[in-house]
Each structure stands twice: as structure tokens, then as C-alpha cells.
Structure 1
Amino acid sequence: MLTVDFNRLPVGPGNRVLDLGAGGGRHAFEVLRRGADVVAFDMDAAELEGVAAMFTAMDKEGEVPDGASGEAVVGDALDMPFPDASFDRVIAAEVLEHIPDDMSAMREIVRVLKPGGRAAITVPSFLPERICWALSEEYHTAPGGHIRIYTLAELQAKLKSCGLEVGAHHYAHGLHAPYWWIKCAVGVNNDEHPLAKAYHELLVWDIMKRPLATRLAESVLNPLIGKSVVVYVRKPT
């Protein structure tokens, strides 16, 4: 399930891409399939072991174009072990809401981007996230959980203040917001609740099959209750 639109953040052979806060590697895998060199970067060493294993499996299955490479690196978003101007593209998907000093993380993104480089920054969008917080204290107080709710204007202003040119934005995963509202209402760890379980099965079916009906429904729901907002930015030359 991708949050970033790669038509808006084109990547391909010759690009070096940082997936900051890569988690399970969903965006890193897509970048590698498109022929770019990708670094999956995260604090969670266990998650990155799985990402590195998947890079190897993709290569064995012939899913990696010639010349492309994938690497997993453990580290801190506030002090990344990369030289200045190391990357043509940066993806930071659903990571800034976890970081107390988010401005320092944004400045690190600017530092490692090449002049003229582009980035996609995604965070939970305001309304769906606010409802989750209202329904469940556990949702946002668990260790490593979300510590802030961004408005779009706040996110854009912070990115601008770090020296980035802010471009287009869009919302994603409109079908997923109700699932999280259900989870917050019945217990965020109560995966066996009949309603939560049934909705989860619907989402898995939708991700696997991508039927036209749900694609159309999500296109309508995204601007209204999209779970994530994606902002595309550029580092000036």
C-alpha cells in the first residue's frame, strides 16, 4: 500500500533515494522496482532485517532492474550518517508525527537532499487523526506513538521555514480512516473484534484486488477523510 504518488515524485535509474523511517519497506521496494538506488533508513533494526531480506529476494526473483541497489541502514533521523547533498529524492512517510524535534528532522532532510532534489513528506491528516485521538487515549499515548496532529498549513509552514519550496499536496487512504476509528472505539489492540476484523478483511481484499468500485470510492473519500496527507517539496538550486 503506497502513500506517495510516484507520478508526482518520479524516481528511476540514476536516482539515489532515501526512504526515511522506512519501517517495513513498502516505499523502498517500489523505488527499487523502478530502477533507482534506495537506502531504507530506520531506527528499528529488526524491521530493517526484514527489508534487507526482501531486497535480496527481489533480486533473486529478477524484480530489480540492472544497476539498481537496495541498502538498509539503522540510525536516527536527527543525525543521519550521510554526507550533505547525498540524495536526489527523499521519502518521509508517516514519520514526523513520531519525532519530538520534528524541525531538526526536516533540517536533516534538507541537508541530505541535493540542490534541486525533491521529497515527499506524509503525515496523518488532521480530521481523521483528531477523531482517533478523541476516541482513544491509548492510540496516541503508547510508546513510540503519535505525539502531534498536524494541520496542512502547519506542515507546509514548517517545511518552508527549513528552506524547502512547497509544491502540490493530496490526501490518501480514505478507506482506511474508518478502520482506525473502529479500532480506537473497540480497543486499538482488539484485532479480534468482529467489526474491526471484518473491516480489516475488506481492506486486505481491496489492496489485493483493487476493484474499480473501491478505487472510485476512495477517490471521493480521500479529500474528505483521507488518513494521510502528502506534501511534495523541492530543495532550491
Structure 2
Amino acid sequence: MSLRIVVCVKYVPDATGDRRFADDLTLDREITVVTVGPEDARDALRKALSMGADKAVHVEDDDLHGSDVMGTSLVLAKAVEKTGYDLVICGMASTDGVMGVLPALLAERLGVPQVTLLSEVAVDGGVVTGRRDGDTASEQLEASLPAVVSVTDQSGEARYPSFKGIMAAKKKPVESLDLDDLGLDADEVGLAGAWTAVDSATERPARTAGTIVKDEGEGGKQLAGFLAGQKFI
């Protein structure tokens, strides 16, 4: 009996690059959550396939533009149900939105248990178990399958795509779906269905030159005075 595992992948902007807002105040970005995103999101899916995944499902629809986490979780739940699953694995948070609530919303929409922020994960006998590390203690958690889990960056080292994996990924199936395939209306997602909205946005001011302290015997005092003026000490 095989275990059907669905891994949620989000295609996010380069953290080291410039980010810009579009005219409608949505972040100018390309997004996929396992299967949700524009055409370029296939790059993330192909990378996941080259790292060992067996197949991919890509939900692409122009009406998804501007979807917040509520709309994204709805689309993702419909896609996961259509695909079939035993265990859904999510990250702890994306590097663009950094909300960290999608796993909980997804579990609620699917009507299954959630076990979140795990540093270790194991599956045995229809039960998923894991360890959640806190500031002062660690918890051992478990849930019966089907379930949704989210993992931290301590859960393991990501494998790198090999040349063999990259070549194999070209032959692996990528199924394309749109809102009609999932039985969803446009007003349930996108900007029209979003529960949140950006009212305004301004670019971060350019970094100014720092204060240079010349040490002519009083450098230590000047540095201490500067730190005290900034209330660092």
C-alpha cells in the first residue's frame, strides 16, 4: 500500500532582489503553493521534481491574481482533494508573506488534523508523529492520517537537484488545472475574494552614510556616547 504525500511548494521572489508593488497594490510576484501560480511557477515544480518528487499539479488561472491566504488555502484544498492524499507537508512560512497560517487553514478546509512546526517527522501505521521544539521545552505530537503537517528548517537538509534528477524531471507529469476544474468561481479568490487588502505602500528609504568616529584618543568615549544616544546602552 503506497502513502500518498503532497508537498506544498511556493514560488517566491528572490529575497536578495528588489521587490516592487504593482499598480493595484499587490506584490509583483509569481506564486505557487504546491500547484497555485502563474506560468513561471512551473520552474519551482520542475525543481521539486528534479529533487525527487514523482509528479506535479499546477493550478493556473488569471483570476487567481491578488489572492490572499484565505483564497490560496481554498484553491489548495480543492487541488489536494482532487489529487488525493494521505499526508500534506507544508513549510513553516513563506519568505514573502511570512504569515505561517496556511497549514492551519488548509487542515481546517480539508477537515483533517494538523501537526505544525515540527523539527522531526515520521510516519508509521497510519499515524504521523513529530517533535515541536519551543524556547523552554519540546513536545512529542501525533495525529492519525490523513493529516496536514508543517515543518521547520530544522527538520532536515534539502537535497540538491542532480544532473540525473534534472533530466528525469523533464519526463515526469505536470497536470494543469484551472478554477473551473476545481469547481470554484472567480469571486471566491483573487482580489475580489480577498479578506485582506493593501491600502498603501512606500519604498524603504535609501540607506544613508553612517557616522564615522575618528579615534584620536577619545574614540571609546565617542562610541559610548553614540550608543547611549541611540538607547543601545
State the TM-score, normalized to the length of structure 1. 0.28
Give the greater-gyration-radius structure (CA). 2
Greater share of residues in helix:
1
State the TM-score, normalized to the length of structure 2. 0.28
Comparing both chains, which one has the higher relative contact order based on Cα–Cα distances under 8 Å and sequence gaps of 6 or more?
2
